[in-house]
């Protein structure tokens, strides 16, 4: 083996004498047998006996043939294996978490079950209530339980109200066509002995009147009397045993109630029926400079329908067809479905007077009036009432002190807020009755004594 004598790798300042390593002799003598009791390695000179090694805690050094000495391997440390308690704790923690989650799920499930059980119960109750309502509605339809003041259209064949076809079949024979030298119109037979009701403008100034029934029987008509202010007239034909209508109540009508109209539109389409609804009540409509209280309807009305009857769904006359709006509005919009009828309750007493006396015997004020504008009333603090447009000199109102631009706000014990209310109040008196009339004039209310005149004829 070669000696490393080259010292160039070590700086001179750091060079220290190195022990000389004797050259190894490759030719070694044959080894002598060694007994089992002897160490596997030859004992070096000055080595420590085995018993001393065990007693001496300082590890001995061994010498090798190469002349170098190395310390023996250090004795390994003894480790005590501790039980792994962390795994057990983790298992316990996992079990606790699972138990908590399960408990939470159980509580949540219980709450949700209770919630949806309540919801289901509410839903079942709603379904039950709906079934009850449907059963009630079906029962109403089957039993013809009326709505809208009894003017509900039921199924055919049920008791109570009638269908439009039933109203027509029941009343068409009592509807007449009227033609005169003044024009054409319609009317209805009120009594079996031939008293026919129509509009005054249908027979106004007529020299000839012809009344034709639905069975084509034709009679000459004679004017019994009329009230031009309310556009109503009575014509008499000489016949007996005639079919006739039954009068109902216009006051019982409600907006939305169904009605039918039978008449002779255009004077040619005789005995035509149209169906509609009450669109409005207490409409003030001017005819020939006279303001008349009207019912409004969307039933189709045309020239020739004037004077014809309006029926409720019990087949009773509740109005007299009088007018319609036609053409276009001031803005250019086309006007459709706006017709008017005189409420039968407003003229029934007048009709009775015309049949009995040939003229209206009711009280008379001798004034022309119009309704107050509600916006004007609110803006200027003026009471609502019947505004006096003109006063006829020599009549009872003028004699009592009523003047133009006064506002009539009361008659006797009745409050007056409109023309209709003034008309209704007058109907509670007779000609010759003495009462009081209250007026508003220039911010002051005056109460005047008045003796009512008889309506001129």
Q: Check if the beta carbon of residue 428 is closer than 8 Å to that of residue 445.
A: no
Catalytic: 433?
no
Distance in angstroms (rounded) separating the CA atoms of residues 341 and 343 = 6
Distance in angstroms (rounded) separating the CA atoms of residues 325 and 341 = 12
Distance in angstroms (rounded) separating the CA atoms of residues 252 and 318 = 9
N- to C-terminal Cα distance for the chain? Answer: 168
Instruction: Give the length of the chain.
Output: 457
DSSP secondary-structure letter at 152?
-
Distance in angstroms (rounded) separating the CA atoms of residues 253 and 399 = 39
Residue tagged 């539109």 (tokens): 265
Residue 200 phi/psi, 5-degree rounding, is -65, -40
196: exposed, middle or buried (C-beta count within 10 Å: 0-12, 13-18, 19+)? buried
3-state secondary structure of 139: helix
Q: Pick the catalytic residue: 231, 353, 371, 406?
A: 231
DSSP secondary-structure letter at 239?
-
Q: Pick the catalytic residue: 186, 250, 306, 418?
A: 306
Catalytic: 113?
no
3-state secondary structure of 101: helix
DSSP secondary-structure letter at 51?
H
Q: Pick the catalytic residue: 177, 179, 201, 230?
A: 201
Residue tagged 């060079």 (tokens): 15
Distance in angstroms (rounded) separating the CA atoms of residues 373 and 408 = 14
318: exposed, middle or buried (C-beta count within 10 Å: 0-12, 13-18, 19+)? buried
Cβ contacts of residue 278 below 8 Å, gap of 6+? Answer: 253, 254, 255, 256, 257, 259, 295, 296, 297
Residue 452 phi/psi, 5-degree rounding, is -70, 135
Catalytic: 306?
yes
Query: Which tokens sit at 448?
Result: 């005047």
Q: How many CA atoms lie within 13 A of 316 on its CB side?
A: 17
Cα–Cα distances in angstroms (integers) from residue 404 to residues 289, 424, 425, 440, in the given order? 17, 22, 20, 11
Active site residues: 201, 231, 306
């Amino acid at each position: 083996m070669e000696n490393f004598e080259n010292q160039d790798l070590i700086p001179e300042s750091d060079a220290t004498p190195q022990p000389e390593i004797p050259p190894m002799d490759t030719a070694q003598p044959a080894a002598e047998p060694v007994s089992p009791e002897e160490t596997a390695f030859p004992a070096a000179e000055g080595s420590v006996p085995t018993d001393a090694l065990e007693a001496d805690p300082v590890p001995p050094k061994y010498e090798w043939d190469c002349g170098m000495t190395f310390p023996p391997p250090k004795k390994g440390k003894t480790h005590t294996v501790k039980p792994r308690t962390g795994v057990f704790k983790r298992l316990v923690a996992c079990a606790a978490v699972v138990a908590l989650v399960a408990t939470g799920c159980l509580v949540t499930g219980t709450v949700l079950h209770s919630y949806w059980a309540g919801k289901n119960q509410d839903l079942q109750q709603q379904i039950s209530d709906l079934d009850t309502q449907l059963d009630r509605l079906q029962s109403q339809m089957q039993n013809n339980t009326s709505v809208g003041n009894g003017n509900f259209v039921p199924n055919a064949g049920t008791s109570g109200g009638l269908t439009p076809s039933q109203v027509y079949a029941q009343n068409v024979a009592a509807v007449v066509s009227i033609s005169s030298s003044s024009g054409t119109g319609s009317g209805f037979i009120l009594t079996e002995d031939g008293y026919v009701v129509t509009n005054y403008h249908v027979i106004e100034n007529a020299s000839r009147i012809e009344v034709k029934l639905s069975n084509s029987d034709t009679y000459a008509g004679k004017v019994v009397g009329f009230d031009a202010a309310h556009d109503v007239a009575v014509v008499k034909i000489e016949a007996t045993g005639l079919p006739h209508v039954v009068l109902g109540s216009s006051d019982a009508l409600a907006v939305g109630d169904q009605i039918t109209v039978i008449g002779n539109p255009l004077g040619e389409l005789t005995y035509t029926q149209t169906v509609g609804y009450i669109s409005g009540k207490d409409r003030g409509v001017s005819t020939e400079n006279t303001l008349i209280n009207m019912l409004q309807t969307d039933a189709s009305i045309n020239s020739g329908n004037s004077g014809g009857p309006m029926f409720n769904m019990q087949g009773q006359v509740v109005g007299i067809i009088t007018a319609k709006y036609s053409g276009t509005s001031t803005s250019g919009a086309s006007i459709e479905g706006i017709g008017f009828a005189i409420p039968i309750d407003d003229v029934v007493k007048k009709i009775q007077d015309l049949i009995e006396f040939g003229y209206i015997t009711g009280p008379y004020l001798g004034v022309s009036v119009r309704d107050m504008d509600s916006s004007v009333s609110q803006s200027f603090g003026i009471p609502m009432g019947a505004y006096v447009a003109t006063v006829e000199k020599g009549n009872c109102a003028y004699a009592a002190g009523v003047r133009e631009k006064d506002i009539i706000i009361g008659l006797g014990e009745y409050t007056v807020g409109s023309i209709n209310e003034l008309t209704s109040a007058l109907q509670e008196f007779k000609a010759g009755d003495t009462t009081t009339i209250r007026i508003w004039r220039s911010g002051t209310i005056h109460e005047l004594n008045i003796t009512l005149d008889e309506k001129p004829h």
